[in-house]
Amino acid sequence: MINERTISVLRQKIDQLDDQLTDILLERFDLCNRIGNSKSEIGAKLEDLDREREIIDRIAAQIDGKLSREEIKAIFLPIFQISRNLQHEEK
């Protein structure tokens, strides 16, 4: 039976996952900045929509229908946008 204690424990687990997600996102953004710097050095375009589609496709295949493609996009498109914004700020 679900009770307040169970909800509290589940929320604590969510908080831990949120902390991990934050750390992972910060690491991802750092790597994106490094890629952006490398692209600038060689004169390559910062935006790579093919790469973004590749990521969406890979994740969709990996999670095997647990989320729809639109839900995956709803999660990752803002991440891609933040990554691009940070790359442009660095330049």
Query: Could you tell me the mean pLDDT of each successive run of 10 residues in the chain, 91 residues long?
Result: 89 98 97 91 91 97 95 97 83 50
Please name the residue ranges forming H helices in the chain: 4-42, 49-63, 69-90
pTM over 0.75: yes
Amino acid at 76: F
d(CA 28, CA 55): 13
Per 3-state DSSP, the chain is made up of helix, strand and coil in percentages (nearest 5) of: 85, 0, 15
* Integer Rg of the chain from CA: 17
The predicted pLDDT at position 9 comes to 95
Three-state DSSP state, 86: helix
Q: Is the dihedral of CA 60, 66, 69, 73 positive or negative?
A: negative
Amino acid at 55: I
